[in-house]
Amino acid sequence: MKKKTVVIGGGLAGLSVAARLARVGQDVVLLEKAPKLGGRAVTIPLKGFDFNFGAHAIYSRDSSYIRKLEKELRLNIGWVDFDPKKARYDLGDQMTEMPATLEGLYKTKVLLNGATKARFAIEIVKTVCLLERGEEGVSIGEWFRRSGKHKEVQDLMLTLASSNFFTQEPERIPSTVFFKYYQRLFRTSKAVSYIAGGWGSLVAELERVIIESGSQIMTKVKIESVLFQQGRVSGVVTSEGVIEGEEFVFAVPPKELGKIFEGTPLQSSIAPYLLHKANNVLVYDIGLHKRIETPYTYIYDKNARVFMTDISAYTPCTPEGGQLIQAVAYLKSEEVGDREHAAVRKEAIERLFDKHLPGWREQLAAKRYTERAAAQEIKVEDDQQLMPVQFHACSNAFFAGDWVQGVGQLSELSFSSGYEVGERILRKGNTGWIELAV
């Protein structure tokens, strides 16, 4: 008999777990409370423009878990690699190359002289060679202060972290997390890649695999509670009745987990992770009737800590001749929900538009603005810890998402934690393991 796995949550994590298990012959039921799949990874059509709910960029594609999924599940994904030669840092009075390549490092004015650039290059080598690992319980800001490294080198490393972790407080990133991330990123040849067609195309591919493998997807199904029997999950109570299974994967946000696990043996295990704060950013996307030519596809305002990306330069997402720009402003934890501060950050983005996209207001056709978009369900700072994929108290409940232990940050946490969940379920039953490996 096929082994039945119930996956709760149709975001990137839930979809990737369900697709992998379905692909090797397991009987999978995927439950999603929303009418559409994708969670926060959705593509929203508006006036002919395809707005992605979040940046559909993948970091370290050549070593990422989505690459594993692409190969194993035979996903049809189109990729367009970010061009660092078309990226610039805006220093206020001048533009300079982004130090993402050796050529960029040589030309950039973020570091003022050759000696400092050499110091930065040495730090990259030391990080890649695992000579720098950080220290448990020590933030990267404190680690840098103790290390006595050159101030400009520290500043650039934190600037990079601000961009990669989508935070205005990079100095609060745990030093061990910082170095693990850059040990991987500095080795990649595909630092940033975009999914052609946006999140929607990836979600559609994962859905296709699940359906073609004979498994089931149910949308508009709300999970109300979890049933336990003899220390194991026996079923979930939904708006459609009780759904039973042998293994259960919960790929829903922490707050939702807290509600459905209330009064269960796992309530106390999950409780500490419900106190964590999400990593929120301000997002301001604009769709233009007519393309405004600019030599750069990515500009980062180093002083304001906001960036803009010409998404339409990497993927078709506009009416003919149009342009889609995505801008993001990083926020400190105390700034989230502050309407006055949001207005200030919005003005900073519009100044960036005015400076590099002259006439954009006259060409404005559509826009998407949100003051509180979750870039990740947990802000990796200080003592906030990612949740385990499994607790000892229950052998058949698994967890996946960008708030769960995995590799990388942002969407990569969803893919990597989901991949690990799939590995554990497959090891338990050895179902389809050989087929998947082939």
The reply to whether 284 and 372 lie within a common domain is yes
Task: Give the pair of three-digit tokens for residue 210.
Answer: 């699940």
CATH of the domain at 314: 3.90.660.10
Q: Which percentage of the chain shows pLDDT scores above 70?
A: 97
Per the model's pLDDT, the better-predicted residue between 21 and 108 turns out to be: 21
**pLDDT at residue 435 tops 50:** no
- Per the listing, tokens 């660092």 go with 84
Same domain, 157 and 201: no
DSSP output for 185-209: HTT-S-SEEEETTHHHHHHHHHHHH
Answer whether residue 431 shows pLDDT above 60. Answer: no
The structure tokens 């594993």 sit at: 68
Residue 52 lies in a domain: no
| H/E element, 372 | strand 364-376
Domain identity same for 310 and 367: yes
Check residue 263 and give its pLDDT: 93
Q: Are residues 389 and 249 in the same domain?
A: yes
Instruction: Write out the two tokens for 336.
Output: 């989230």
**Which domain-ending residue is among 121, 152, 185?**
185
What DSSP character marks residue 437? H
Q: Kindly state the tokens that stand for 76.
A: 């049809």
Strand extents, DSSP E, 32-124: 43-46, 49-52, 57-59, 79-81, 87-90, 95-97
75 pLDDT exceeds 70? yes
Lowest mean pLDDT among 93-107, 112-126, 143-157, 171-185: 93-107
Domain count, the chain: 3
- Which residue blocks in 218-338 are alpha helix, DSSP H? 254-260, 267-270
The answer to whether the CB of 234 falls within 8 A of the CB of 251 is: no
Stretch 343-367: mean pLDDT: 96
- pLDDT bracket for residue 190 (50, 70, 90): confident
Q: Are 103 and 91 in contact (CB under 8 A)?
A: no
Q: What is the Cα–Cα distance from 75 to 56, expressed in whole angstroms?
A: 16
Do 263 and 134 lie in a common domain?
A: no
Mean pLDDT of 149-173: 91
With tokens 């695999």, the residue in question is 209
Q: Are residues 272 and 283 in the same domain?
A: no
Q: Are residues 271 and 389 in the same domain?
A: yes
Range of the domain at 359: 279-376
Sign of CA dihedral 333, 338, 341, 347: positive
The pLDDT assigned to 52 comes to 85
**What is the predicted pLDDT for the residue at 60?**
84
Cα 144 from Cα 315, distance rounded (Å):
38
CA distance 116 to 224: 57
Residue 42 has pLDDT above 90, yes or no: no
pLDDT tens by residue, 372-424: 988 899 998 888 999 999 999 999 999 999 999 999 888 999 999 999 999 99
Measured CA to CA, the distance from residue 330 to residue 308 in angstroms comes to 12
Same domain, 181 and 214: no
d(CA 16, CA 111): 41
Residue where one domain finishes, among candidates 332, 356, 376:
376
Give pLDDT, residue 437. Answer: 40
Residue 138, domain member (yes or no): yes
Written as six digits, the tokens of 236 are 């979930």
pLDDT digits (tens, 9 = 90+) for 136-154: 999 999 999 999 899 999 9
Same domain? For 289 and 362 the reply is yes
Average pLDDT over residues 288-302: 94
Question: In this predicted structure, what is the pLDDT of residue 54?
Answer: 65
> Do residues 260 and 408 share a domain?
yes
235-278 pLDDT tens trace: 999 988 999 999 999 999 999 999 999 999 999 999 999 999 99
151-165 vs 140-147: helix crossing angle, rounded to 10 = 170
User: What confidence score (pLDDT) does residue 434 get?
Assistant: 38
Q: Could you read off the pLDDT of 297-311 as tens digits, one per residue?
A: 999 998 899 999 999
pLDDT bucket at 55, cuts 50 / 70 / 90: low
In sequence order, what DSSP letters do the residues of 206-249 get, joined into one string? Answer: HHHHHHHTT-EEE-S--EEEEEEETTEEEEEEETTEEEE-SEEE
pLDDT, position 192: 87
375 vs 291: CA distance, rounded Å = 28
Q: What pLDDT is attached to residue 2? A: 65
In a domain, 284, yes or no: yes
Is residue 55 one of the residues assigned to a domain?
Answer: no
Residues 296 and 370 in one domain: yes
**Can you tell me the mean pLDDT for 94-123?**
85
CA 259 vs. chain centroid, Å, equals 24
Q: What is the pLDDT of residue 430?
A: 64
pLDDT band at 215; cut points 50, 70, 90: very high
For 362-372, the pLDDT digits (tens) are: 999 999 999 99
The mean pLDDT of the chain is: 91
CATH of the domain at 427: 3.50.50.60
CA distance 401 to 414: 4
Burial class from Cβ neighbours inside 10 Å (0-12, 13-18, 19+) for residue 244 reads middle
Does 338 or 53 have the greater pLDDT score?
338
Structure tokens at 396: 């058949």
Residues 244 and 391 in one domain: yes
Say what the pLDDT of residue 178 is.
94
Cα separation of 198 and 62, whole Å? 18
Residue 286 lies in a domain: yes
278: which DSSP letter? Answer: P
Whether 283 is in a domain gets the answer yes
Separation between Cα atoms, residue 271 and residue 279, nearest integer Å:
19
Instruction: With respect to residue 95, please indicate whether it lies within any of the assigned structural domains.
Output: no
**Closest alpha carbon to 235 in 245, 221, 220:** 245
Model pLDDT, residue 205: 96
Is the CB of residue 307 less than 8 Å from the CB of residue 163? yes
> Average pLDDT for residues 14-30, to the nearest whole number?
96
DSSP assignment of 12-27: HHHHHHHHHHHHTT-E
Q: Does some domain include residue 130?
A: yes
Q: How confident is the model at residue 61 (pLDDT cuts 50, 70, 90)?
A: confident
Of 352, 376, 400, the residue that ends a domain is 376
CA distance 100 to 190: 11
d(CA 124, CA 88): 20
Distance CA 253, CA 232 (A): 21
